Chain A
Amino acid sequence: MAVLRVDPKACVASGLCAAMHPALFRLTEEGLGEPVRGDLTEADDVESAEDVAACCPGAAVAVLDSA
């Protein structure tokens, strides 16, 4: 339904994504955000990921149509 990406170059390692939605995001050893799964199939998850994208201080999270 959608593809979830975190741009590691834009990520500022704030930890917001993993704190906001630990089911969708986790932090690497260096503190960068990364998706737990790249493909989102549930509408609720897409909406949650879009919330995170809009709150991310680095604008590093992208939720893309997988059409």
Chain B
Amino acid sequence: MTAPAPPTELFGYDYYQNPYPTLEWLRENSPMHPFRFPVGDIPLWIATRFDDVQQLLGDPRFSTNPAWASKEFIDGGMAVGKGTAIERIITMLDPPDHTRVRRLAMSTFTPRRIAQWEEPTHAVVEAELDRLEKQDQPDVMDYAGAIPAALMGNILGFPLDRFNEMIHAIERAFHTDPEDADANRLAFEEIAEYGRGLIAHKRRNPSDDLASALIEARDGEDRLDETELVAMIAVLIMAGLDTTRNLIGTSVLSLLERPDQRRLLLERPELKDTAVEEFLRFNGGVAVGFFRFAKEDLEFAGVSLPAGSPVIPAVGSANRDPRRWPDADRLDITRTGPRHVGLGHGLHNCLGAALARLEAAVAIPAIMRRFPQMTLAVPVEELRYDEMWLVRSINSFPVRLHGDGKR
């Protein structure tokens, strides 16, 4: 066997620009791959095959809670939100805390309850398309970010006026620049502080919305502590904004690059729901899940892991595994094949999945319909992806809304 090194360094600049060749190499050559994370030089593992990733996400022998993590991981500074309220986000809680907190928010996000937001979503999307059309230098990422910000703001019950600042904070929080460790913590603190301000305002102006219900669970019934309340508001903002923003952005790009799929979506609007599942599979925004820590010494995917070992579930790789999908690297919006893990799996599966699906199913077809001549304003090779480990994020996505003819 030759030296076991993937074509690009994991979580390095070239990886972020196009991770798929590296992920394919890992699936074929080293499906449970040991490497050192660029931040903190921490030894960890990355799982890249569908079966392994799905099993990892549903395996109760692993936890997302850094209380289970190795000393090296904690000392390396990679515990998400360490020293801020963010360390109590639901994403990193174990049962029974996870159960208590998830119960408080889940009913707001079930498919039936989210279906009531369909008309408001159309209204937000049309208003954002009007706004996009007036811009001198229209950027799809502005459109893609404004939609989840408006919807999540409506559901929580306060306008997320500073959502653009939050998107930048989220990206700094999950950056993998080794010089940037303190910047990560400061960015998490900025998000938590924004949440605290919104909560203070909402306490004075309660209404019939999710934030008021969560405040009531804290102040009235004591089912949340103050840190958990701040963490819940913060995680709804974090998870609600940048994930959906990039799902919309990368999917619009996928369609601009594939005229046949673009035409198909316009000619057969009823395909929107299978199209969204395919977008989630193909390039679904979330690149990898949160670290999973082995809670005991165990065997996983043929590898012996000591307790505390961190494993990255590479959902973006799992979703391209040819063992599960024929022609997995081809976008096909008519696909009705097996389910993907773009919205996770197991205990921490996406709480806001129904909302993400609704936003994507409205926003992606609507921009293609409004601007049927839209083209990229720069060569596709000039687009850059942010060096952020969690989400695949296009920095800037300039377009000509009316193609080459007009502006």
Contacts and interface: CB of A to CB of B under 8 A. Distances in A.
Contacts of B312: none
Interface string B343-354: 111110111011
B110 A14 contact: no
Contacts, number: 63
B102 interface: yes
Interface SS majority for chain B: helix
A15 B344 CA distance: 9
A7 to B, nearest CB: 12
A54 B107 contact: yes
Given A14-B344, A57-B351, A59-B112, 20 more contacts: A12-B353, A14-B346, A14-B353, A15-B57, A15-B345, A16-B346, A16-B349, A19-B59, A19-B60, A19-B347, A22-B60, A31-B338, A51-B103, A55-B99, A56-B106, A57-B106, A57-B109, A57-B353, A57-B354, A58-B110
Contacts of A15: 54, 57-58, 345-346, 349
B203 interface: no
B245 to A, nearest CB: 21
B274 to A, nearest CB: 15
18 contacts: A12-B111, A14-B349, A14-B350, A15-B57, A15-B58, A15-B346, A15-B349, A16-B346, A16-B347, A19-B57, A19-B59, A19-B60, A31-B339, A54-B102, A54-B107, A57-B110, A57-B354, A59-B107
Interface residues of B, number: 27
Contacts of B344: 14
Contacts of A59: 107, 110-112
Interface of A: 10, 12-16, 18-20, 22, 30-31, 51, 54-59
Contact of A20 (B59, B347, B354): B347
B154 to A, nearest CB: 20
A19 B110 contact: no
B95 interface: yes
B357 to A, nearest CB: 10
Interface of B: 54, 57-60, 95, 99, 102-103, 106-107, 109-112, 338-339, 343-347, 349-351, 353-354
Contacts of B109: 57
Nearest to B347: A19
A20 B103 CA distance: 13
Nearest to B341: A15
Contact of B58 (A18, A30, A55, A58): A18
Nearest to B57: A15
A58 B110 CA distance: 6
A20 B345 CA distance: 11
Contacts of A13: 339
A16 B353 CA distance: 13
Nearest to A57: B353
B256 to A, nearest CB: 30
A57 to B, nearest CB: 6
A50 to B, nearest CB: 9
